[in-house]
Amino acid sequence: MSDIGIVSYGGSIPRLRIKTEEIADVWGKDGKRIANGLGIAEKSVPSIDQDTATISVEAARNALKRCQINPQDIGAIFIGSESHPYAVKPTGTIVGEAIGATPDLMVADYEFACKAGTAGVQNCYSHVKTDLVKYGLAIGADTAQAAPGDALEFSAAAGGAAFIIGKKDVIAAINHTYSFATDTPDFWRRAEQKYPRHGGRFTGKPAYFKHVMSAANKMMEIADTNPEDYSHAVFHQPNAKFPRKVAKMLGFTADQIQAGLKVPYIGNTYSGASMVGLAGVLDAAKPGERILVTSYGSGAGSDSFDITVTDEIAHFPLEKAPLIDNIIKDKKYISYGVYAKYTDLLYWE
């Protein structure tokens, strides 16, 4: 059977940044201590004209720049986010129209906290494998919300990545995928509530670590692999502390997760986090390298992937769209006042 996997990809991260210390100063907290504890020096902030839809469009267009695919051959678009701009109206149709993929198109918006984007990858993989579509487009993107003064305010960020899944000119073959899910209420936002709530330390051991560990270990069992078989590993990154800790617990080294660890520079992009991390790895990947990717979404679940980089990556035109690290470096710092204005912290009825 021919390879099925990633044919092209692209990322999008807002240019604006706010430093952890800037946020801490407003609330009378120790910014250096918080930055060191979370491993996040600054985070990305959406401008007043940026949302999940615009980030998704830019990421999708960057993916299309790197391949010769006719957008009309994209038969499915699945967008994962917990900050879709409309409660009732899909983000996917906006993206489909913007890239010229309509009207013969299957569209669905997904929600599963921070793993909705990887769920989209799984569905695109299944649709391509069964020949329901020629190509599928999976996007994970968010403009994450955080209540003023809450711990999440230091990490909730914006950004995303798009992956085109197909059978032709595959640069990274998806060998296996596996999911693990339980009803673990570590993080939630009820309908009509502006900001999410969370279970504090409960979000760690019984939530993030249990699900990521379970999914990653089962994935390696299915693939008959060990940590040393992988050149790279990407784990969901709500902060820098969690992925580093879970990598060590699973037997991975700091070097193996380095290429995909972007949270210290842009914060937690939620549904975009694992996707942006994988895009960062592919920016530097070599033929034959193996990648383990395990996302995490509160509520709770993890999707895990065993991926092999193919020879096609050697002549993949990376230069036709910005690399993740170059997008990250293109930044402009803002004050807390501007941040509050752009993220609607000052909004009232």
Q: Active-site residues: which are they?
A: 82, 114, 236
Q: Residue 81's closest CA among 103, 49, 105, 54?
A: 54
Query: And the tokens for 195?
Result: 């900001």
Strand, coil or helix: 308: strand
Query: What does the alpha-carbon distance between residue 251 and residue 257 come to, in Å, rounded to a whole number?
Result: 11
303 CB contacts (<8 Å, ≥6 apart)?
A: 115, 118, 119, 121, 122, 177, 178, 179, 215, 294, 295
Angle at which helices 52-65 and 91-99 cross, to 10°: 40
Please confirm whether the linkage preceding 103 is cis (ω < 30° from 0). Answer: yes
Query: And the tokens for 278?
Result: 């994988």
Q: What are phi and psi of 8, to 5 degrees?
A: -160, 170
Cα dihedral sign for 218, 219, 225, 230? negative
- Find out whether 38 and 265 touch, Cβ atoms under 8 Å: no
Query: What does the alpha-carbon distance between residue 66 and residue 82 come to, in Å, rounded to a whole number?
Result: 28
| Cβ count within 10 A of residue 67 | 20
Pairing status of strand 42-45 against strand 16-19: antiparallel
Query: What does the alpha-carbon distance between residue 13 and residue 46 come to, in Å, rounded to a whole number?
Result: 8
